[in-house]
Amino acid sequence: MLKDIVSVQALDSYQIHLRFEDGIEGTINVSELIPFSGIFAPLADPSYFATVQVNPEFGTIVWDNGADLD
């Protein structure tokens, strides 16, 4: 069963620190997971990338343009 993300913090170099509902936390490099094209193209701008937030309804992370990761 997937665990919801409960907090996110944007770090340098396209990294984010995540904490899940079960208390597990860690840091991932988003640029290694997805290409910054299509809906993810705006994430190439570090200022925009830093606007990441948790969507509490779905337990995912999301940006204002609708890009999301779970």
Task: Tell whether the model's pLDDT for residue 19 goes beyond 90.
Answer: yes
DSSP 6-69: EEEEE-STTEEEEEETTS-EEEEEGGGTS-S-GGGGGGGSHHHHTT-EEETTTTEEE-TTS-EE
Distance CA 21, CA 15 (A): 20
DSSP state of 70: -
pLDDT cut 70: percent of the chain above it: 100
* pLDDT average, residue stretch 42-68: 96
**Tell me, what's the pLDDT at 27?**
98
pLDDT digit string, tens, across residues 22-54? 999 999 999 999 999 999 999 999 999 999 999
